[in-house]
């Protein structure tokens, strides 16, 4: 593996923890940089805020809380704390460092857990996949759409438009979970529809959290804006009165961890976290790891013997819709056809995670929106 130590400064030695707690289990960069070997997870903090309205470079208190949590018995892969990527002379230097780190870790089957910093760092994570020439799906846990204008410099509120304009573009799909309509400009919403991207609104999530699970399972990169959490829940002096609860954030993190497709995740905050916010962030990371260590390996597909196949003929499109249910996890997928001339480009994207309700609706001759949107992108 390429030497990554040049990008990092060590973790403080001042954290207190007991022998049975995570601080004693993980391998942290203190006196020497750890020898990294996958599979496993790696914590990376990036106190970079120049891509937001904040002018502070505050560090969060999540490590002190995280080190005191207890691992579960089945956490049998290494957990690394690589320390802090120091902001570069320019913000582009920070993006370059983070993208190189992400690319190298993903290539070696290590999941980067990035703790920002502002959410424009999602662009740097995405650029790490560009180096791998890998077509990816992204999912933001966010109250807004963050499309903005690509004519403006890369910012926490327009990183998605910059991702879309990258050439070559490796972004296949983007989903937002937790959208609050007052924070979405009509023009952004209209563009989202034209791009066939996915939205799970906060109200829909509150009614049925299972609606968000396929979007998390379909993503390679998860980007969590902590402003999507109620300000009162995270101990913030600024923020929105509505949003996810602390429990829901941990629930989302666990579902993201369970997904076999997710290979990186970022938690971003544009302001210094209070002790409550730091503790909540530590718990969310813990639940992501709980999900990660509980993966059952049911995507991408191996033997079809591990799945039950369901076929539904749809009059609306005059074709058969094929669904698969995993015998390991009882999770569902839809098969969406793509042009044969595309070769293997869409091989990872034509099996779309879905809910049983999509199959139930197909049985009523109702074409699932998720199938149609994916079919448009594949075509």
Whether 287 and 352 share a structural domain: no
Whether 221 and 160 share a structural domain: yes
Q: How many structural domains compose the chain?
A: 2
Task: Give 181's DSSP letter.
Answer: G
Residue 343 predicted with pLDDT over 70: no
Residue 342 predicted with pLDDT over 60: no
Q: What is the pLDDT of residue 340?
A: 56
pLDDT category at 7 given cuts 50, 70, 90 is very high
Whether 355 and 239 share a structural domain: no
Structure tokens at 266: 């970022």
Whether 66 and 181 share a structural domain: yes
Structure tokens at 299: 């995507």
Angstrom distance (rounded) from CA 375 to CA 379: 6
Q: What is the pLDDT of residue 288?
A: 98
Q: What's the helix, strand, coil split of the chain in %, to 5?
A: 35, 20, 45
Q: What is the pLDDT of residue 74?
A: 96
How do 198-201 and 27-28 pair as beta strands?
unpaired
Residue 339 predicted with pLDDT over 70: no
Percent pLDDT > 70 in the chain is: 94
Residue 89 predicted with pLDDT over 90: yes
Angstrom CA distances, 170 to 38, 142, 279, stand at: 24, 22, 35
Whether 10 and 129 share a structural domain: yes
- When the pLDDT of each residue in the chain is averaged and rounded to a whole number, the result is 90
Whether 265 and 155 share a structural domain: yes
Residue 361 belongs to a domain: yes
2-28 average pLDDT score: 93
Residue 96 predicted with pLDDT over 90: yes
Q: Are 45 and 59 in contact (CB under 8 A)?
A: yes
Q: What is the pLDDT of residue 234?
A: 86
pLDDT for 282-337, tens place per residue? Answer: 999 999 999 999 999 887 666 677 899 999 998 877 889 999 999 989 999 999 88
If you search the block for the tokens 């996949």, which residue do you land on?
129
Q: What is the pLDDT of residue 251?
A: 97
Residue 341 predicted with pLDDT over 70: no
CATH code assigned at 114: 3.40.800.10
Residue 208 predicted with pLDDT over 80: yes
Find, among 352, 345, 347, the residue nearest to 371 by Cα: 352
Q: In what order do the strands lie in the sheet with 307-314?
A: 307-314, 319-326, 332-335, 351-354
Residue 59 predicted with pLDDT over 60: no
Whether 340 and 213 share a structural domain: no
Q: Classify residue 326 by burial, with Cβ atoms within 10 Å: 0-12, 13-18, 19+.
A: middle
Whether 40 and 133 share a structural domain: yes
Angstrom CA distances, 285 to 113, 189, 251, stand at: 8, 30, 11
pLDDT category at 57 given cuts 50, 70, 90 is very low
Structure tokens at 225: 């804006």
Residues of the domain holding 329 = 304-378
Q: What is the pLDDT of residue 58?
A: 45
Residue 66 predicted with pLDDT over 80: yes
Whether 318 and 249 share a structural domain: no
Q: What is the pLDDT of residue 274?
A: 81
Whether 80 and 193 share a structural domain: yes
Helices assigned H by DSSP within the chain? 22-25, 62-66, 91-107, 121-130, 159-165, 186-194, 202-207, 213-217, 231-234, 246-258, 275-292, 356-363, 369-378
pLDDT for 120-173, tens place per residue? Answer: 999 999 999 998 988 899 999 999 999 988 889 999 999 999 999 988 999 999
Residue 70 belongs to a domain: yes
pLDDT category at 214 given cuts 50, 70, 90 is very high
Whether 65 and 206 share a structural domain: yes
Residue 338 predicted with pLDDT over 70: yes
């Amino acid at each position: 593996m390429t030497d990554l130590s040049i990008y990092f400064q060590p973790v403080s030695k001042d954290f207190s923890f007991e022998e049975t707690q995570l601080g004693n289990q993980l391998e942290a960069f203190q006196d020497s940089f750890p020898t990294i070997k996958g599979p496993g997870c790696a914590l990376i903090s990036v106190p970079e805020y120049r891509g937001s309205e904040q002018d502070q470079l505050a560090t969060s208190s999540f490590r002190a809380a995280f080190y005191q949590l207890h691992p579960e018995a089945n956490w049998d892969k290494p957990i690394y704390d690589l320390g802090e990527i120091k902001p570069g002379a320019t913000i582009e230097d920070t993006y370059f460092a983070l993208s190189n780190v992400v690319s190298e870790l993903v290539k070696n089957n290590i999941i980067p857990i990035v703790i920002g910093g502002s959410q424009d760092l999602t662009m740097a994570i995405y650029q790490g996949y560009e180096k791998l020439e890998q077509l990816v799906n992204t999912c933001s846990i966010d109250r807004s759409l963050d499309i903005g204008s690509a004519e403006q410099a890369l910012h926490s509120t327009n990183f998605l438009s910059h991702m879309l304009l990258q050439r070559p573009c490796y972004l296949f799909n983007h989903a937002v979970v937790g959208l609050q309509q007052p924070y979405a400009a009509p023009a952004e919403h209209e563009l989202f529809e034209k791009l066939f991207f996915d939205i799970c609104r906060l109200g829909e999530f509150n009614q049925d959290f299972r609606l968000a699970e396929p979007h998390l399972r379909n993503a390679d990169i998860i980007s969590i804006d902590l402003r999507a959490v109620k300000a009162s829940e995270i101990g913030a002096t600024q923020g929105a009165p509505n949003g996810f609860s602390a429990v829901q954030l941990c629930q989302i993190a666990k579902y993201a961890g369970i997904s076999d497709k997710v290979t990186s995740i970022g938690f971003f905050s544009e302001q210094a976290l209070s002790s409550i916010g730091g503790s909540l962030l530590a718990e969310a990371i813990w639940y992501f790891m709980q999900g990660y260590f509980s993966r059952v390996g049911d995507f991408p597909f191996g033997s079809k013997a591990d799945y039950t196949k369901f076929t539904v003929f749809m009059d609306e499109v005059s074709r058969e819709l094929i669904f698969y249910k995993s015998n390991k996890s009882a999770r569902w997928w839809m098969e969406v056809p793509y042009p044969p001339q595309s070769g293997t480009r869409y091989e990872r994207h034509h099996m779309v995670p879905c809910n049983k309700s999509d199959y139930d609706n197909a049985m009523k001759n109702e074409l699932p929106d998720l199938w149609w949107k994916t079919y448009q992108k594949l075509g």
